[in-house]
Amino acid sequence: MAKAREVYVCGSCGSVSPKWQGQCGTCGEWNTLVGATAPAAAGRRSRGPGTEPAAPSTLAAESQGSPVRVATGSGELDRVLGGGLVAGSVTLLGGDPGIGKSTLMLQAAAALAPGGPVLYATGEESLQQVALRGRRLGLEESTSRLLAETCVEQILEASRAVGARVLIVDSIQTTYTEGVVSAPGSVAQLRECTALLVRHAKRTGTAVLLVGHVTKDGQIAGPRVLEHMVDTVLYFESDTGSRFRILRSVKNRFGAANEIGVFAMAEAGLREVKNPSAIFLSRDPQPAAGSVVTVLREGTRSLLIEVQALVDAGAGGNPRRVALGIDGNRLTMLLAVAHRHGALAFQGADVFANVVGGVRIDDTAADLAIVLAARSSLEDRPVSHSLVAFGEIGLAGEIRPVPFGEERLQEAAKHGFGTAIVAAANAPRRPPEGMRVIAVKRLAEALEAERGG
């Protein structure tokens, strides 16, 4: 038996150092090296079952067909994955505790089971607990295989025995490999377990789904090298107290990154929300000052989002700038541009900006809507319910175009909006039926068009 040796593993990047040092030499982070025990490398390692050396191939031979995708039974999950699970891919799913990761995986396992063997390996619950959740979700007749095991070698052996085409591991932090002498969840265990699962997926064509815990910062626990090892990284997001869940793709080798899927948590599990714009547009029937609708682009989907602003007289010498769902520095910049190029007197006033529905806006297309909402609140004059606006605002007061302008207009027209204020470069040759498109080049033009529209 090989003699164990002491090494130090970085908790940030996963690099291994033979001795402890204050700063990791690979990623530069301080105080991240943690002691671990690993067996000394043998001169020649024996190969386990299913690990025969692969024969070389050519790019021409491998490019003959398109990747084989497997539908998960959930249109929203398939959208985020880029059209379904790719055979031989490894997907990592993270999210806060109780947000619905295990529920989504169990529902996916039940939907995938009729097309071939599916193995659901759980390291956090007993088989009886999984069965109890399955009954609550109405999945009693599911033929997916269940396994309560934390040893990754045993999980892979069971996967090969049943010929699983889909393997779900819940969660990766509870697994361990016999080749590393450290506790489950340690950096060394996470890296080695993931490496074994990735190797199994590539050699057998099994689609592997890994559930991961997240830290208090919202990142998947463990070294960031885990996200580099897998093919797809998904995050479950939710606002506190909301029953809606947003599944976001932050990395996808087989589809678009930043794609989102929207779910609603119900008693019978996660339900797809096929028209998420309707959720974020549940506005008051009567127009209210400080509310404007914009169109955001998330992956391949256009979403209608309501932006709100409140301008109030400042109580002290330093006016407050509070932004929820919007970058605070960008809000301050937009207010300064509106004062300089739109003659809007925001100095000395407290300005509060909010995005309805708990959505986080990173799209600069919302700039124009934020300024229009702030002007509406400042003048206490509602904006028309049939108006939608999008466009990036530059420091010189120019309205810059944003990508996918035509698709944004079509989404707004589909929901009944009759007027759109957009950058001149985004104005289509033929506007959508029933919609009037107002093209503007300067912020002053946009403010005048909103007042007259």
CATH code: domain of residue 393: 3.30.230.10
Domain edge (last residue) among 248, 274, 300: 274
pLDDT at 226: 86
Provide the domain count of the chain. 3
pLDDT at 46: 47
Q: Distance between CA atoms of 141 and 154, rounded to whole angstroms?
A: 26
How would you label 209-235 residue by residue, b for 16+ Cβ within 10 Å and e otherwise? bbbbbbeeeeebbbbebbbebbbbbbb
Task: State mean pLDDT over 314-336.
Answer: 90
Q: What is the DSSP string of 430-446?
A: SPPTT-EEEEESBHHHH
Q: pLDDT tens digits for 222-273?
A: 667 788 899 999 998 887 667 888 899 999 999 888 888 989 988 888 999 8
CA neighbours closer than 13 Å in the CB half-sphere of residue 75: 5
* Whole-number Cα distances in Å, 2 to 40, 42, 88, 346, 351: 6, 7, 32, 71, 66
Q: Are residues 28 and 72 in the same domain?
A: no
Q: Distance between CA atoms of 33 and 20, rounded to whole angstroms?
A: 7
Q: Are residues 393 and 432 in the same domain?
A: yes
pLDDT-derived band at 453, boundaries 50, 70, 90 = low
Q: What is the DSSP string of 200-238?
A: HHHHH--EEEEEE-B-TTSSBSS-THHHHHSSEEEEEE-
Q: Are residues 224 and 363 in the same domain?
A: no
Task: State mean pLDDT over 401-423.
Answer: 94
pLDDT at 33: 81
User: Which residue in this structure is represented by tokens 């970085």?
Assistant: 10
Domain edge (last residue) among 217, 251, 274: 274
pLDDT at 253: 93
User: Can you give the residue range of the structural domain that contains 247?
Assistant: 68-274
pLDDT-derived band at 221, boundaries 50, 70, 90 = low
Domain annotation covers residue 59: no
Domain annotation covers residue 58: no
438 Cβ partners below 8 Å, 6+ apart? 419, 420, 421, 422, 449, 453
Structure tokens of 206? 């099994």
Task: Say if residue 44's pLDDT is above 50.
Answer: no
Structure tokens of 159? 């996967």
Domain annotation covers residue 336: yes
Q: Distance between CA atoms of 147 and 127, rounded to whole angstroms?
A: 7
Q: Are residues 321 and 191 in the same domain?
A: no
What's the mean pLDDT when you consider all of the chain?
A: 88
* Whole-number Cα distances in Å, 337 to 24, 310, 333: 43, 18, 6
Task: Say if residue 400's pLDDT is above 60.
Answer: yes
Q: Are residues 258 and 291 in the same domain?
A: no
Q: pLDDT tens digits for 68-85?
A: 788 998 999 999 999 999
Please, which residues bridge with residue 4 across strands?
39
Q: Are residues 225 and 81 in the same domain?
A: yes
User: Which residue in this structure is represented by tokens 């080798």?
Assistant: 253
Task: Say if residue 47's pLDDT is above 70.
Answer: no
Q: pLDDT tens digits for 337-381?
A: 999 999 999 988 999 999 987 778 889 999 999 999 999 999 999
Q: Are residues 253 and 284 in the same domain?
A: no
What CATH number is associated with residue 179? 3.40.50.300
Can you give the pTM of this predicted structure?
0.77
Domain annotation covers residue 85: yes
Domain annotation covers residue 86: yes
Domain annotation covers residue 53: no
Q: Are residues 349 and 208 in the same domain?
A: no
pLDDT-derived band at 274, boundaries 50, 70, 90 = confident
Domain edge (last residue) among 251, 274, 297: 274
Determine the Cα angle at 352 with ends 348 and 358, to 5°: 170
Task: Say if residue 446's pLDDT is above 50.
Answer: yes
Q: Are residues 264 and 287 in the same domain?
A: no
Q: Are residues 246 and 395 in the same domain?
A: no
Domain annotation covers residue 207: yes
For residues 170 and 121, is the Cβ–Cβ distance under 8 A? yes
Q: Are residues 308 and 445 in the same domain?
A: yes
Domain annotation covers residue 365: yes
Task: Say if residue 98's pLDDT is above 70.
Answer: yes
pLDDT at 42: 44
DSSP 30: B
Q: Distance between CA atoms of 5 and 388, rounded to whole angstroms?
A: 64
Q: Are residues 285 and 270 in the same domain?
A: no
Q: pLDDT tens digits for 137-187?
A: 999 889 999 999 999 999 999 999 999 999 999 989 999 999 888 888 888
